[in-house]
Structure 1
Amino acid sequence: MTTVATGEDRRPNVVMIIVDDLNDLPLSPDGKPRIETPNIDRIARRGVTFTNAHCNDPICAPSRASMLLGLYPQTSALYWFEDWRKNGVLNQCVSVNRHLQNHGYSVFGTGKIYHGGQSDGAFDRRGPGPDVGPWPWDGKSKQSHLPHPAMMYLYDTDGDMDYKWEHHFGPLSMVPDWKPDPQAGIPGYKGWRLGGKPFRYNGNDDRDKLADELCAEWSADMITKDHDRPFAIFTGLVRTHTPLYAPQEYFDRFPLDSIELPETIDGDLDDCATALADRSLYGFRRYNMLVRHKDRQLYRQWLQAYLACVSFVDDQVGKILDAIDASPQRDNTIVIFTSDHGFHMGEKEFLYKQSLWDGATRVPLIIAGVDGMPKGVTCDRPVSWIDLYPTLNQLCGLPPQPNAASGGYNLEGHSLVPLLMSPEGDWNGPDVAITALPGKDHSQHERHGGTWFPHFSVRSKQYRYTLCSSGDEELYDFESDPREWKNLADDPAYASVKANLKEQLIALRDGSAWQSLDDLHRWTYGAQKGGVVSDDGTLTFSGHSSSYLATIAKYKDFEWEFEAKSPNTQRMRVSYHARVQGNRVVGTVANVPPTQSNLEGTAVPFDSGQWHRYRIRVVDGRCRVWINSKLHSDVVNASDTDVGVIGFDFPGVDEPTLSVRASRVRRLTSN
């Protein structure tokens, strides 16, 4: 039920500043270039800085979804750039901004909050939108995401590099001049474009404002307005997202010869997990694309541009803080400063997000303005973005479980309030922060099949342990090796450390109350019994057209997950069988449609030779089926609410064959 606050509601206001692609530079880490961030430091002097904070997936869309909706990527199965609104788990959840709105807060937003504008609309007012431009333009093509014509030499030796637009950098004074190409039908254009319109630039003192400047000023204006109830303002600043364009004055703050290069060592990647150290991955290719141009000092110039953008963002933060300080709300406003994930600057020869090393997972996280909290202190407990939603619930007096009314998932993070009040004290969160990353071929030439093979990593105070989908492992000791140069996963001296961290990783990866269904004795068969277990644990079954395969155990209100493949996929039904009589399935609640969506969203037949991932959730007679993270059916059948079994069948198929792996179930009630 929605509640409305009165004018006497003294709950704190919230200003959350989310920066895009900002790594841990504001924390002054060793081994990286130094930079002054006086305005971010202003927040730190007023509160607690979490020096061991991590994202839950070092990719924009899943990271933001984990924070705004409070579920891990491994729970939602959203690991990549999918639209969370089409995710069968997340679209049933209440976002943090809607939860605030439902319980008496005025909620405002500007800039990049959700990825790609994929908002749920729960804002009382929206300010300027995000745009990582300005952009060069050729006079014809789409007026964004074009590379800079003066930097096309980058691709002389790497012509198939993906996302050419995001490798470019420079001051706004480097005005693009796209030459006409009559043969290609390109009219040419000189100047910048932003938001589909010309971006006026006649020098630093005579130009249009960038998106972040507009968002910061809009936020400052909202703070100074009269409010009759508590407010929450979400401000998403798009820098330091590439392309790294900023006004000239910010480049002037970092002379090239003053920039420190991040430390690297020869052979650093030799003993890393093969899946993570694959040099064909985008981040390695970006790094090599710059360092091979030694005569141009491109790598140092890129670092200069990144530092310039950090300094530019810091100034925008200052505008927001100035408004808070000048407001009568100053003493009742909580400020949260963070970034959606990190970004490598060349350490480990990597230049991107999307890794499971600290460069990509570690984020700045500062919380200030909480009544009674210590000021200017740090906390080195491992925490993550998943903890921000429950923290806001406690600080703002909101119900702790926003999805309770719909029977949905509980939030999976833990409130940071105990650590805000006592940074070295106790809290009920885990001893490690977990991060997921799509595996296999993630970020290679825009092939994204790796979302079905995620890797995971946990960070404790002292160690990082990583378990890849292939079984490869990494272990780093940050006390002796803060650059993650020596992989200790195979060192017998660290066997107990690795085993302990692996146990914690699996517990956080798999959630609670899951029961494996991979054992043959947990299944019963129809007209023909049989089943073969392969070395990797895959169960393969064959039978007659009338046969079915179902568990022995009975369930009510449950979730069932598994991977399956069959040459008869298009006739396979996976469902909740409310009753089983003899060799007949009775009361099937839902069937699996025989199609899937391709990358263009077109329905195509299932590839029978591929593994597909299934999730089935049954609550109060409602059965929902997801295939490869997309909702395929949602059926309510009140007559089938009794306890029943879960299984498969192939009506009309002679001697169907089915292979199943990674099958597990968890009860959602105590039946």
Structure 2
Amino acid sequence: MTTDASAEEARPNVVMIIVDDLNDLPLAPDGKPRIKTPNIDRIARRGVTFTNAHCNDPICAPSRASMLFGLYPQTSGLYWFEKWKENGVLNQSVSLNRHLQNHGYSVFGTGKIYHSGQSDGAFDLRGPKPDVGPWPWDGKSNQSHLPHPAMMYLYDTDGDMDYKWEHHFGPLSMVPDWKPDPAAGIPGYKGWRLGGKPFRYNGDDDRDKLSDELCAEWSTEVIARQHDRPFAIFTGLVRTHTPLYAPQEYFDRFPLDSIELPETIEDDLADCATALADRSLYGFRRYDMLVRHQDRQLYKQWLQAYLACVSFVDDQVGKILDAVDASPQRDNTIVVFTSDHGFHMGEKEFLYKQSLWDGATRIPLIIAGVDGMPQGVTCDRPVSWIDLYPTLNELCGLPREPNAASGGFKLEGHSLVPLVMSPEGDWDGPDVAITALPGKDHSQHERHGGTWFPHFSVRSKQYRYSLCSSGEEELYDFDTDPREWKNLAGDPAYAAIKASLKDQLIALRDGPNWKSLDDLHHWTYGAQKGGVASEDGTLTFSGHASSYLATIAKYKNFEWEFDAKSPDAGQMRVSYHARVRDNRVVGTVANVPPAASNLEGIAVPFDPGQWNRYRIRVVDGRCQVWINGRLHSDVVDDSNAGAGVVGLDFPGLAEPTLSLRDVRIRTL
């Protein structure tokens, strides 16, 4: 691409620092341990800190995908640790780094940017790879993710805890010493390893460098180069991701007796949605595992390790800022500092990401270095990671819609530039930030089950409203309850506020990419087309002896919503027909008659003879049905996966009657 040289010189450079698992500690929130972050504060003094910024899914892979592609998880369908390259929406979309590269930027990357190294390759140069080690080693195993042999006592009371490596913490001076086990063929090993090689450690002053130190130093070298084009560098720092290992000096900054525990209250979870407060979830189990060992002060020691890692990361940020300050491009370089999601430190008795409370959704987000912007100010408007892509498009003079040429989805965020320039001003973004959460948990020994049961939450200036896939709700008022201790969802005094927030959540959850099926030409009833349409748009089908109603159009992966009413509703089945041959249904993925309760034993509200709302989701041969907001069934039949038609049928009835309204469908 060729551009005018003077225009190229005027375009700002971008330094984006993405920290892994860093919560809102740099914002000094009430109720959490205090920590000094002088280098993050340096960025804040030069720009705008968004104090009400949130991730779009509090898990690494979907969160990073939402920012890098500018699409919500509910649009892409990527809620979990799936590979984005196998996602039918994202693999047809243009990433932020590629968009910069396509329009005249030199793009550099180091550390963790995409999850698990799943880069799209759109970097002019890549620096050191991420590694959350160093790691203990037993002298034999090929895997690097091994637990620390000195901390195996953690599992005395929770032996089946998943991901044992993830719970360990301590200074590098706690050198692992894995004892030989001849019976198991383990030779044993003393020392650390990093990147599959021995990690030299003879003390904090004589050791190899950690991944973040290598990434920060590489970034400083790139920033210091002579650049003939504007550049963008993405630096992904992996701390504070667990295991929480760091040099001893950082632990020394936080004596145990100086650490205050986050505030909790008795029976905090009693009024929470059961789907979100299930004590078998990973975050609750991690918290319980630590507090059970009160004699060891393990909870305080874990907090000390987390604080130490935050301080370690802050020092790496300082190195990058020093390079920006020393660069001749200092006054034309935008710095963005953020994290992929938050991380609970024990609030609500939870110790992890993956919740719909502020501990997991709230992130630091600071933008500095924009010409003419105010400095050292804050903005409390609710924003989210989805807004970064359109923000950089505007700041860097890029086309607004990177997917326009391919006919793909439009970016779903909104540029933050109006708020960057005037934090108290207006912008065209929503009044709430939305976060999705897979409704199952990987600690429950289910293979990615969560993808299919997403919950959602929206955060406004004052409130948080959450809607679970089961229909359960939570509502918190941050003016009176900043720690989310009192669920107001059942309080009649807040009914209007809850209803308004629910409407906003549903609008952001469902998105605009639906098309109406309120058209008789889209339907067949038996071997015939059409039915009767009333003035209000209701479609009524009756008088046919055939047993199914189906769309003419074929779909593969989709969501389908409609209201249905029938005097024969007790015998109606919701189906996804894998294929139709000679006007006959051949193969059915799911047959779902109404039932008294759903898969989880929760009563499904269903009123025979009245309007009931259905939502059907079909992906790769898996069919799920919601009735009136409650998950009713989940059926898998891979044998019939492929494009097919959606439909309803009444087995055994010669002349059923069915009315439909507000019918819509969207492809996934």
Give the TM bin, normalised by the shorter chain: 0.7 to 0.9
Looking at structure 1, the residues matched to 558 and 574 of structure 2 have their Cα atoms a distance apart, in angstroms, of 22
Partner in structure 2 of residue 282 of structure 1: 282
Partner in structure 1 of residue 128 of structure 2: 128
- How far has the Cα of 1:6 moved from its partner? 3.5
The residue type equivalent to 2:489 in the other structure is A
- How far has the Cα of 1:280 moved from its partner? 0.3
Partner in structure 2 of residue 549 of structure 1: 550
Partner in structure 2 of residue 372 of structure 1: 372
TM-score (norm 2): 0.84
For 1:571-608, what per-residue CA distance to the aligned partner results, in whole angstroms no more than 9, with x for missing partners? 72289xxxxxxx749xx9xx9999xxxxxxxxxxx999
Change (3 A) 1:285 1:649: closer
Change (3 A) 1:14 1:60: same
Q: After the TM superposition, which residues 186-201 of structure 1 pair with which residues of structure 2 at under 5 Å, given as runs?
A: 186-201=186-201
| Backbone CA RMSD of aligned residues | 3.9
The answer on 1:572 being equivalent to 2:574 is no
Identity %: 80
The answer on 1:561 being equivalent to 2:580 is no
Change (3 A) 1:380 1:496: same
Change (3 A) 1:439 1:157: same
Change (3 A) 1:183 1:108: same
Looking at structure 2, the residues matched to 628 and 212 of structure 1 have their Cα atoms a distance apart, in angstroms, of 45
Change (3 A) 1:247 1:518: farther
Partner in structure 2 of residue 580 of structure 1: none
Looking at structure 1, the residues matched to 91 and 252 of structure 2 have their Cα atoms a distance apart, in angstroms, of 46
- How far has the Cα of 1:512 moved from its partner? 1.8
The residue type equivalent to 1:158 in the other structure is D
3-state SS in 2 of match to 1:573:
strand
Change (3 A) 1:611 1:291: same
- How far has the Cα of 1:10 moved from its partner? 1.6
Looking at structure 1, the residues matched to 294 and 546 of structure 2 have their Cα atoms a distance apart, in angstroms, of 67
Looking at structure 2, the residues matched to 372 and 628 of structure 1 have their Cα atoms a distance apart, in angstroms, of 58
For 1:157-211, what per-residue CA distance to the aligned partner results, in whole angstroms no more than 9, with x for missing partners? 1111010000000000000000000000111000000000000000000000000
Q: After the TM superposition, which residues 35-50 of structure 1 pair with which residues of structure 2 at under 5 Å, given as runs?
A: 35-50=35-50
Change (3 A) 1:105 1:513: closer
Partner in structure 1 of residue 605 of structure 2: none
The residue type equivalent to 2:116 in the other structure is G
Partner in structure 2 of residue 460 of structure 1: 460
Q: After the TM superposition, which residues 132-171 of structure 1 pair with which residues of structure 2 at under 5 Å, given as runs?
A: 132-171=132-171
Looking at structure 2, the residues matched to 154 and 217 of structure 1 have their Cα atoms a distance apart, in angstroms, of 36
The residue type equivalent to 1:62 in the other structure is P
For 1:489-516, what per-residue CA distance to the aligned partner results, in whole angstroms no more than 9, with x for missing partners? 0000000000000000000000126357
3-state SS in 1 of match to 2:299:
helix
The residue type equivalent to 2:419 in the other structure is L
Partner in structure 1 of residue 293 of structure 2: 293
Partner in structure 1 of residue 270 of structure 2: 270
The answer to whether the 8 A contact 1:568-1:608 is kept is: no
Change (3 A) 1:482 1:63: same
3-state SS in 2 of match to 1:353:
coil
Partner in structure 2 of residue 72 of structure 1: 72
3-state SS in 2 of match to 1:404:
coil
The residue type equivalent to 1:202 in the other structure is N
Change (3 A) 1:559 1:167: closer
3-state SS in 2 of match to 1:159:
coil
3-state SS in 2 of match to 1:611:
strand
The answer to whether the 8 A contact 1:85-1:91 is kept is: yes
The residue type equivalent to 2:150 in the other structure is A
Partner in structure 1 of residue 597 of structure 2: none
- How far has the Cα of 1:443 moved from its partner? 4.0
- How far has the Cα of 1:561 moved from its partner? 2.2
Q: After the TM superposition, which residues 158-557 of structure 1 pair with which residues of structure 2 at under 5 Å, given as runs?
A: 158-512=158-512, 514=514, 523-527=523-527, 549-550=550-551
Looking at structure 2, the residues matched to 161 and 608 of structure 1 have their Cα atoms a distance apart, in angstroms, of 31
The answer to whether the 8 A contact 1:5-1:103 is kept is: no
- How far has the Cα of 1:442 moved from its partner? 5.0
Change (3 A) 1:271 1:230: same
For 1:624-646, what per-residue CA distance to the aligned partner results, in whole angstroms no more than 9, with x for missing partners? xxx999xx879xxxxxxxxxxx9
The residue type equivalent to 2:61 in the other structure is A
For 1:359-391, what per-residue CA distance to the aligned partner results, in whole angstroms no more than 9, with x for missing partners? 000000000000000000000000000000000
Change (3 A) 1:297 1:663: farther
Looking at structure 2, the residues matched to 226 and 255 of structure 1 have their Cα atoms a distance apart, in angstroms, of 44
Change (3 A) 1:85 1:558: closer
For 1:236-271, what per-residue CA distance to the aligned partner results, in whole angstroms no more than 9, with x for missing partners? 000000000000000000000000100000010000
TM-score (norm 1): 0.83
- How far has the Cα of 1:549 moved from its partner? 1.7
Looking at structure 2, the residues matched to 101 and 628 of structure 1 have their Cα atoms a distance apart, in angstroms, of 42
The answer to whether the 8 A contact 1:560-1:664 is kept is: no
Give the count of matched residue pairs.
608
3-state SS in 1 of match to 2:405:
helix
The answer on 1:611 being equivalent to 2:623 is yes
3-state SS in 2 of match to 1:405:
coil
3-state SS in 1 of match to 2:10:
coil
The answer to whether the 8 A contact 2:523-2:551 is kept is: yes
Looking at structure 1, the residues matched to 588 and 409 of structure 2 have their Cα atoms a distance apart, in angstroms, of 25
Change (3 A) 1:281 1:454: same
For 1:346-371, what per-residue CA distance to the aligned partner results, in whole angstroms no more than 9, with x for missing partners? 00000000000000000000000000
Looking at structure 2, the residues matched to 664 and 18 of structure 1 have their Cα atoms a distance apart, in angstroms, of 38
Shifted more, 138-147 versus 218-227: the winner is 138-147
Q: Unaligned 5+ residue runs, structure 1? A: 532-538, 576-582, 595-605, 615-626, 635-645
Looking at structure 2, the residues matched to 367 and 609 of structure 1 have their Cα atoms a distance apart, in angstroms, of 44
For 1:64-97, what per-residue CA distance to the aligned partner results, in whole angstroms no more than 9, with x for missing partners? 0000000000000100000101000110000000
3-state SS in 1 of match to 2:304:
helix
For 1:377-432, what per-residue CA distance to the aligned partner results, in whole angstroms no more than 9, with x for missing partners? 00000000000000000000000000000000000000000000000000000000
Looking at structure 2, the residues matched to 592 and 6 of structure 1 have their Cα atoms a distance apart, in angstroms, of 62
The residue type equivalent to 1:397 in the other structure is G
For 1:99-137, what per-residue CA distance to the aligned partner results, in whole angstroms no more than 9, with x for missing partners? 000000000000000000011000000000000000000
For 1:506-531, what per-residue CA distance to the aligned partner results, in whole angstroms no more than 9, with x for missing partners? 00000126357699998431249999
- How far has the Cα of 1:24 moved from its partner? 0.1
The residue type equivalent to 1:484 in the other structure is E
The residue type equivalent to 2:579 in the other structure is R
The residue type equivalent to 1:561 in the other structure is E
- How far has the Cα of 1:9 moved from its partner? 2.7
Looking at structure 2, the residues matched to 408 and 202 of structure 1 have their Cα atoms a distance apart, in angstroms, of 54
Partner in structure 2 of residue 647 of structure 1: 645
The answer to whether the 8 A contact 1:167-1:243 is kept is: yes
Looking at structure 2, the residues matched to 243 and 494 of structure 1 have their Cα atoms a distance apart, in angstroms, of 42
Looking at structure 2, the residues matched to 607 and 358 of structure 1 have their Cα atoms a distance apart, in angstroms, of 31
The answer to whether the 8 A contact 2:59-2:341 is kept is: yes
For 1:437-459, what per-residue CA distance to the aligned partner results, in whole angstroms no more than 9, with x for missing partners? 00144542354212111000000
